Chain A
Amino acid sequence: MRLATREIPVISSKALFDMILAAGASAENGARVKPFRVLEHKADVGFEAFGRTREELFTNAAAALTDLMVDLDSIQAREKIGIRAEGSEASGLLVNWLAEILYLWDAEHWLFRSFEMARLSDQVAEAEASGEKFDPRRHAVKMQVKAITYHQLALEPARGGWRAQVYVDV
């Protein structure tokens, strides 16, 4: 399928990519560059996430999703819960992993700040997630996400690390 030019995200320049990779798991070292960025879609919205490893990629993709909904910096790591997702292959697993995080938000009002990946294969992702429940006094909802889609889904090695592209329905 040919991409309409307007919809093609500008692929990150080497400089930007290196900066993003260097920022890595930026949450703890306080780096200003986030390891993800928002992509445009006519009706909806997507994001591109990066990681030095696949574990880091899954973590950063989850952070990208969360940051679309609520400002990531407003979330505190107060409690930990286990998260598990399954898939038939790696990119489907990424969709299901993100769908799990969305479900925990919409059904139980969980917001996560960071993840400790305990296990990651092509079929299973298991992590300990640190975060808190939604508190309207401290968290402002930026956008409500309905679902994670397979639209132009990508999970691929890039520049010695990993890149993911995901579109969500809003």
Chain B
Amino acid sequence: MQLSQLEKLDDYRWLIPRSTRAGMLTDALVYSDENLLENILNDLSLEQAMNVAMLPGIVGRSLAMPDVHQGYGFPIGGVAATMPDEGGVVSPGGVGFDINCGVRLLASTLVREEVQPKIRELVNQLFRDIPSGAGRGGSIKLTSKDLDRVMTEGAAWMVEQGYGEPEDLTHSEEGGAMDGADPAAVGDRPRKRGLPQLGTLGSGNHFLEVQYVERVFEPAIAREFGLQEEQIVVLIHSGSRGFGHQVCTDYLKDMDAAMRRYRINVPDRQLACVPVHSREGQAYLGAMRAAANFAWANRQGIAHFTRKAFERIFGQGARMRVVYDVCHNIAKLERHAVAGLDRKILVHRKGATRAFPRSRPEVPEAYKAVGQPVLIPGSMGTASYVLVGAEGALDETFGTTCHGAGRVMSRTAAKKSAFAQNARERLEGRGIIVRSETKDGISEEIPEAYKDVDAVVNVVHNAGLSKRVARLRPLGVIKG
């Protein structure tokens, strides 16, 4: 893909017209500035965004967020909506293997100067209490019957078992559980992989960070979110673990065969898809929602262990409130304006975050006045952001914004790079304590392997997809 194939609409929008490649049913649109675009053009992400534009029943454009990078089938940072009533498809690749990978933010009553002197002790406690799940299972013991309830009730089941407070649920996308989960659509294998993994962090880019609010951009909105400068917060980035990975694996296998029956041709096998209104499509969506609910229960468990670790170090007074919980790998049926008409569409967000403004009924009661908090984890050791949903996202992106920094360096390249040498020491030199289950866990996730999160957020802010509220800086990290 060459820069010359893109049509610059303004400083933050680049169009790939549908005429660029035979088979595209719609245009693709990339949100980026010129600097980020240079990196985006270095991998297959825009080829993949063009392939997504070939999905049957796609409405609007195939969208790429500024953190977009090459994935499998869909690019990571890709958004696509389909119209079920007009043959629109659901594609497990448009959700990803880590169904409801997402982010939860906890706000404490502590400030930086109280926590910094004890940060090493705190990080060690968190590392002990929150297993990564690599050979070390979680401490939440589930029966198979319990797992059925996790699949339908999500975080609420955890709260009922004592892993949290009822208010946690109202401060979460979907209230911590999606309707329409179908445990009967989930085979034995996801269940077996998932049973020992509830309340575990996982590896790869998943992490838990102790952070402080470095800067508030919008004081009035930050106040509504309960955030102020110097406050200590915890950001949890995890998903549905082996449960979700196996649901995706199982359904990709089914769809690979089913696609032929529905006479659907896609340019990449990893884009396998079936009509939403098909037996296979409905079964996948039921299983996907079950996995999404597993993920909410998982982040609920991790939040509980985080609270306990804080209590151990700082005493009972260390209260931690859930600010919000977002998912950035999901497909959801939502109502949006399509060509001026209010339609029910299936929005795939693969590495992209819902960013609803206050006008949407889905925004929880507590944030009705300002809009939905959007949580953007940066790479390990760099900044993270809290944004708020904006009307621009409803006009252009089905209410969606970016999800993170996005990689620029492969894991192998990161590991081999000069930056990987003494990565831990360098972070410690900047006052950031890191504990990881594996050595590679740090060297593959070095800050240099990622795009500049400030630049990514700058694009979505200036494009009007979401608004900057606060920037968070890490003090301590635990990783798989």
Question: Which positions in A face B, CB cutoff 8 Å?
Answer: 1-4, 6-7, 38, 40-45, 88, 92, 95-96, 99, 103, 106-109, 134, 136, 139-144, 146-151, 153, 167, 169-170
Contact = CB atoms under 8 A, between A and B. Distances in A.
Contact of A143 (B43, B136, B203): B203
B95 to A, nearest CB: 12
Contacts of B440: 142-143
Contact of B97 (A42, A88, A139, A146): A146
B307 interface: no
A interface SS class = loop
B43 A4 contact: yes
Contact of B407 (A43, A139, A150): A43
B334 to A, nearest CB: 26
Contacts of B136: 136
Contacts of B47: 1-2, 4
Contacts of A92: 253, 256
A141 B42 contact: no
B interface SS class = loop
B412 A4 contact: no
A107 B243 CA distance: 10
Contacts of A169: 72, 96-98, 245
B457 interface: no
B438 A143 contact: yes
A43 to B, nearest CB: 5
A42 B69 contact: yes
Contact of A144 (B72, B202, B257): B202
B138 interface: no
A148 to B, nearest CB: 7
Nearest to A140: B438
Nearest to A148: B249
A95, A141, A142 — most chain B CB neighbours (10 Å) = A141
B274 to A, nearest CB: 15
12 contacts: A4-B44, A38-B412, A40-B413, A106-B242, A139-B135, A142-B438, A144-B480, A146-B97, A149-B72, A150-B72, A151-B268, A169-B97
B472 to A, nearest CB: 23
A40 B409 CA distance: 10
A107 to B, nearest CB: 4
Contacts, number: 124
A167 B70 contact: no
Contacts of B76: 43
Interface of B: 1, 42-44, 47, 51, 69-73, 76, 96-98, 132-136, 189, 192-193, 202-204, 242, 245-246, 248-249, 252-253, 256-257, 267-270, 272, 407-413, 437-438, 440, 480
A6 B43 contact: yes
B410 A42 contact: yes
A95 B248 CA distance: 13
Given A42-B70, A147-B245, A170-B204, A7 B43 contact: yes
A80 to B, nearest CB: 21
A105 B51 CA distance: 33
A13 to B, nearest CB: 19
B59 to A, nearest CB: 24
A4 B41 CA distance: 9
Contacts of B252: 150
B208 to A, nearest CB: 16
Contacts of B249: 99, 147-148
B480 A146 contact: no
A40 B43 CA distance: 12
B438 A41 contact: no
Nearest to B437: A141
Nearest to B39: A42
